[in-house]
Amino acid sequence: MKNQLKNISFSLIITVIILVFGSCTKDKNTVKNNNIDGNLNKINIQSQITALPNESLSPEELASLSFIREEEKLAMDVYVTLYNKWSVKIFNNISQSESTHMSAVLMLLNKYNIKDPVGTNEIGKFENTQLKALYDQLVLEGNKNTLNAFLVGATIEDLDLYDINKALVYIDNQDMRYVYEMLAKGSRNHMRSFYKNIINAGGTYSPQYITNEDFNSIINSAMETGN
């Protein structure tokens, strides 16, 4: 009986060790989705957008909403495509975040009765011809190998941050600023995640759009949380 109890105890210890070790050795390319964008919640986003006042939109703000909506689709489409190619979890996780970003911009379009440029367009289809060409180029590059795919991710977030920050210079509507600042926070978190994967894969990344100062500030700081 003592031997049986010892065997049972030993088996339990081994099981606990396996569970603990397994939880600590997950794929280093995995990024928990609930940390990427600071636990964004679509219901909370909609409530905040609804609570903020309706304000007149300048021509620049109107154009920006349509463009950013498709640019967020570009990010999501590329990440879905690269996940299908490489089955690396970071692309699946961040594509879900980009879906939330797209929804947030759509809430603004609906609030101001603006036509949605995305509609039911499938992956890789865009009204903006420049975004279509960029999608094709990024997918071609990301299909070469996983390091290139991570570099494509960093490039997308680099460009997103540049375009959002450029737009925030002339946007004064409270609801738009709320959404755009949220998108920027998400892109900073995505950049941190992709950069970590680039380094782990033996590569490096230099910013192509945002300044070196901004880039270094992002990668040397912690993930941002909270709504």
Confidence (pTM): 0.84
Among residues 182, 226, 227, 223, the alpha carbon closest in space to that of 32 is found at: 223
The rounded percent of the chain whose pLDDT value lies above 70 is 82
Give the per-residue pLDDT at 139: 98
Give the per-residue pLDDT at 89: 97
Structural contact between residues 52 and 170, judged by C-beta atoms closer than 8 angstroms: no
Give the per-residue pLDDT at 36: 54
Give tens-digit pLDDT for 173-189. 999 999 999 999 999 99
Give the per-residue pLDDT at 65: 98
Taking 90 as the threshold, does the pLDDT of residue 37 lie above it? no
Among residues 63, 66, 73, the alpha carbon closest in space to that of 132 is found at: 73
Residue, of 36 and 9, whose pLDDT is higher:
36
Give tens-digit pLDDT for 94-128. 999 999 999 999 999 999 999 999 999 999 999 99
Q: Spell out the domains of the chain, with CATH numbers in brackets.
A: 30-219 (1.20.1260.10)
Q: How far is CA 129 from CA 27, 74, 133, 135, 216, in A?
A: 37, 12, 6, 10, 32
Among residues 188, 160, 51, the alpha carbon closest in space to that of 102 is found at: 160
